[in-house]
Amino acid sequence: MSQQDSQKNDAAEKKKPKAVALLSGGLDSSLAVRMMLEQGVDVEAVAIKTPFCDFDCGKGCGHRVKEVADELGVKLKTVYFGEDYLRMLKKPKHGYGSGMNPCIDCREMMYGAAKEHMEKTGADFVVTGEVLFQRPMSQNNRALHIIENETGLEGKVLRPLSAKHLPPTDAEKEGLIKRENMGDIKGRSRKGQLALAKHFGVQEPPNAAGGCLLTDPAFSKRVEDAMEHADDIPSINDIELLKVGRHFRLTPAEKLVVGRNKDENEVIKALVEDTDVVLEARDHVGPTCILRGKSHDKATIAKAAGIVLRYSDAPKDEASKIKITIAGKEEQELEVVPAGVPETDALRI
């Protein structure tokens, strides 16, 4: 072997390994990145946003992800799943978890985004903060195998926190990563993560995530209702509206959303579309409400008006006036008696 060939081989052997990490901003994913950086791996991060999981939303879907990436000193790429995510959610190949959470299909989309960035940047493998048996549907051996297999990433996904409980990855077999320095954490306890956080000098480890919004029973019912009554899939605006107010299914084609406080009233006003009917009590303090659907016949508007008054300060046993704005232009008034509690509860989603 010539000296030049020997130098080329030495350079190849010293090539710094590179990884793409799925970063949520929570403790687990940030610890996984820290473990890679400690081993000299060049890391770039991919953060996923969906209609149900936005950064700093307070629902466990990306605590301070941008700040965490800066703190770790890694380059961050944000990927947004919009209508494609909703189409998957309409009929996920692997079904739902406890609510409307399509965990396996969701992870497959995330892996796909990480794989695309891995190939684009010439990275060697993907890193995630997944912990074996932490999540019942998507973080068990069978699910992890399915996700890797169906995304073409078999052997290419390293889960540093639980690596010693999982088969060696290509990166470990090729010596890019030292398996003995990987973690042996599994289950729902956070003791292992907190010990690692202390090792890395993390002063204030974030609390455990609150879980995916789609696992919430009440919210899942709203999503299911929206999917069931959409011609194709709900719009992104429809999904944002699901996150606020009280929801009532008045007819198969129409739904009423009633604000619960001043902040929600403002959000509802911002989400009004041209085809919506906006209802508010004329002479009493009350909520801002949207009637969304197709027909807006007089009977349905009257039913909606009664519910609007039910949640206002209007007297419950006498008629009061409702201000109605149709398509952002036409204003009408309607006098109705507030709906009763049994009637209202029967329509609530």
> Does any domain span residue 328?
yes
Is the model's pLDDT at 59 over the cut of 50?
Answer: no
Residues 190 and 258 in one domain: no
Residues 170 and 255 in one domain: no
E-assigned strands of the chain?
18-22, 42-49, 75-80, 125-127, 157-158, 246-251, 254-258, 277-281, 289-292, 320-326, 330-336
- Please name which of 295, 206, 236, 286 lies closest in space to residue 28, comparing C-alpha atoms: 206
> Does any domain span residue 222?
no
Q: How confident is the model at residue 2 (pLDDT cuts 50, 70, 90)?
A: low
Residues 317 and 192 in one domain: no
> Does any domain span residue 255?
yes
Residues 318 and 193 in one domain: no
> Does any domain span residue 228?
no
Q: What global pTM score does this model have? A: 0.86
What's the CA gap between 247 and 218, in Å, rounded? 11
Residues 18 and 158 in one domain: yes
Q: Which domain holds residue 90?
A: 3-199
Q: How confident is the model at residue 329 (pLDDT cuts 50, 70, 90)?
A: confident
> Does any domain span residue 230?
no
- Please name which of 11, 30, 47, 6 lies closest in space to residue 205, comparing C-alpha atoms: 30
Last residue of a domain, one of 199, 229, 253: 199
Residue range 159-208, pLDDT digits in tens = 999 999 999 999 999 999 999 999 999 998 999 999 999 999 998 887 76
Q: How confident is the model at residue 58 (pLDDT cuts 50, 70, 90)?
A: very low
Determine phi and psi for 255, rounding to 5 degrees: -135, 145
| C-alpha to C-alpha distances, 121 to 37, 43, 174, nearest whole angstrom | 17, 11, 19
Residues 35 and 173 in one domain: yes
- Please name which of 203, 213, 202 lies closest in space to residue 243, comparing C-alpha atoms: 213
Last residue of a domain, one of 164, 180, 199: 199
Last residue of a domain, one of 133, 164, 199: 199
Predicted pLDDT at 211: 66
CB crowding 99-137: b at 16 or more within 10 Å, else e? bbbbbbbbbbbbbbbbbebbeeeebbbbbbbbbbebbeb
Predicted pLDDT at 62: 47
Residue range 194-243, pLDDT digits in tens = 999 999 999 888 776 656 889 999 999 999 999 999 999 999 999 999 99
Evaluated on CA atoms 172, 192, 214, 235, the torsion sign reads negative
User: What CATH number is given to the structural domain containing 150?
Assistant: 3.40.50.620
Residue range 110-155, pLDDT digits in tens = 999 999 999 999 999 999 999 999 887 788 999 999 999 999 999 9
> Does any domain span residue 326?
yes
Number of compact structural domains in the chain: 2
What's the CA gap between 321 and 325, in Å, rounded? 13
